[in-house]
């Protein structure tokens, strides 16, 4: 993969393969952005009300939702609401009409003329100063209403939640409180998860997001299970990775379990890697046992475990964009069947034990290379699941 190249694949293709996900045990899918865009990763949104025609358009999403819901699989879409793109109509209108544009207050203009291509001094606020990504001015009521309308539209269309891209860039609690009200009014069960790499206590008080992407878990898992092999130079999200023995690992997990109110901890979006990081197996430099232990750990923690596509078959990939390789449907001989079988078993373990889905986390033992903890279920007070790791 490259930053600008397309690899093929579309939403109808995903619908055709959905039985693979159901067989794996998946009960939710989170799509990276699928709205109309001129970039392969689609974080440069042109039209928030249209699924990209290259992916099959709105009709393809309708089919995928119907197929997913028929199998009790929920669907979360990526909401890129901090910035739009040069092709977004309202911004394009400013480029065409200058100060006379009807949408001049949708973005923040610093100086004229605007220079949207190839200049660091492009004249308007942009995400990370990238001229391709003009930042919305969410202080403008029309912009706020537009984003809320988008959020409501797709929930009413049938999606089951939003993953929010760089939401802290909209540094406005009242904005996200209203966003939550709009989404939860349309569907009280909808899931709202923000991309926040560090402490997210401000946004997890029950009035904004339900959860955040819990990269703390991924760093801890790599530090423990891949401590002998992981790449000491790599900094996922800018965070330094630290090797952890059982006791230090137990302390870090306990800290993560106590960072937020229990309702937030129980809803956390737990992951090992993502489209923004090298894959876990690459960070662990090919240590397959580290990956297996990390998957089991992921499936036994409080929260919502998320597998980045292809982890279950041992897909590899370095930092972005290499981590976004196409799924090898045409080369099943490359699949790591041992990892696939192990992942299925770990998912089934979670599904078979209510304590692993809903129970409290209780640390039991941590010494040298051995860690043990229990999950105790409120639903079944006599049901406790205990787990241990170690070099045996």
Instruction: Identify the active-site residue in 52, 78, 165, 287.
Output: 165
Sheet holding 74-79, edge to edge: 28-30, 74-79, 161-164, 191-194, 211-214, 269-271, 304-306
Indicate left, alpha or beta for 334 from its phi (over 0: left) and psi (-120 to 50: alpha): alpha
330 is catalytic: no
Neighbours of 262 (CB within 10 A): 12
The distance in angstroms from the start CA to the end CA of the chain is 39
Q: 199 is written with which tokens?
A: 């402490």
β-strands 28-30, 74-79 pairing: parallel
Calpha distance 224→245 (Å, rounded)? 6
Q: 215 is written with which tokens?
A: 């990269």
Instruction: Identify the active-site residue in 52, 160, 195, 287.
Output: 195
Calpha distance 271→256 (Å, rounded)? 13
Q: 341 is written with which tokens?
A: 């079988």
What Å distances lie between residue 31 and 7, 101, 139, 163, CA to CA?
A: 16, 34, 28, 9
Residue in 251, 257, 246, 271 with CA at minimum distance from that of residue 371: 246
Where does residue 347 rank: exposed (0-12), middle (13-18), buried (19+ CB within 10 A)?
buried
CA 289 to chain centre: 24
Hey, which residues does 104 pair with through a beta bridge? Answer: none
Residue in 310, 308, 327 with CA at minimum distance from that of residue 7: 327
165 is catalytic: yes
* Catalytically annotated residues: 165, 195
């Amino acid at each position: 993969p490259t930053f600008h190249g397309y690899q093929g694949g579309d939403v109808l293709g995903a619908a055709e393969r959905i039985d693979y996900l159901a067989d794996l045990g998946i009960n939710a899918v989170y799509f990276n952005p699928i709205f109309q865009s001129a970039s392969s990763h689609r974080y440069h949104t042109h039209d928030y009300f249209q699924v990209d025609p290259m992916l099959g358009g709105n009709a393809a999403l309708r089919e995928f939702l119907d197929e997913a819901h028929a199998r009790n699989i929920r669907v979360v879409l990526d909401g890129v609401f901090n910035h739009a793109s040069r092709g977004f109509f309202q911004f394009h209108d400013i480029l065409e009409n200058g100060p006379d544009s009807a949408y001049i207050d949708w973005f923040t203009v610093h100086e004229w003329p605007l220079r949207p291509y190839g200049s660091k001094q492009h004249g308007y606020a942009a995400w990370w100063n990238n001229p391709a990504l003009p930042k919305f001015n969410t202080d403008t009521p029309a912009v706020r209403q537009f984003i809320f309308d988008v959020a409501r539209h797709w929930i009413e269309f049938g999606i089951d939640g939003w993953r929010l891209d760089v939401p802290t860039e909209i540094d406005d609690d009242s904005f996200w409180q209203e966003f939550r009200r709009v989404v939860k009014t349309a569907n009280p069960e909808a899931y709202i998860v923000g991309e926040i790499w560090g402490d997210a206590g401000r946004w997890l008080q029950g009035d904004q997001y339900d959860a955040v992407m819990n990269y703390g878990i991924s760093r801890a898992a790599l530090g423990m299970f891949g401590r002998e092999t992981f790449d000491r130079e790599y900094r996922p999200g800018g965070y330094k990775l630290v090797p952890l023995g059982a006791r230090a690992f137990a302390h870090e997990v306990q800290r993560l379990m106590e960072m937020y109110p229990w309702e937030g901890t129980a809803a956390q979006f737990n992951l090992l890697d993502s489209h923004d990081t090298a894959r876990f197996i690459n960070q662990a430099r090919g240590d397959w046992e580290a990956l297996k232990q990390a998957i089991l750990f992921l499936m036994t923690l409080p929260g919502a475990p998320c597998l980045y596509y292809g982890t279950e078959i041992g897909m590899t990939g370095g930092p972005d964009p290499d981590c976004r390789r196409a799924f090898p449907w045409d080369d099943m001989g490359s699949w790591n069947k041992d990892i696939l079988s192990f992942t299925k078993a770990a998912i089934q373990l979670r599904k078979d034990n209510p304590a692993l889905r809903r129970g409290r986390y209780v640390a039991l033992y941590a010494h040298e290379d051995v860690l043990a903890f229990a999950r105790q279920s409120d639903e079944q007070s006599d049901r406790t699941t205990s787990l241990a790791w170690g070099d045996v």
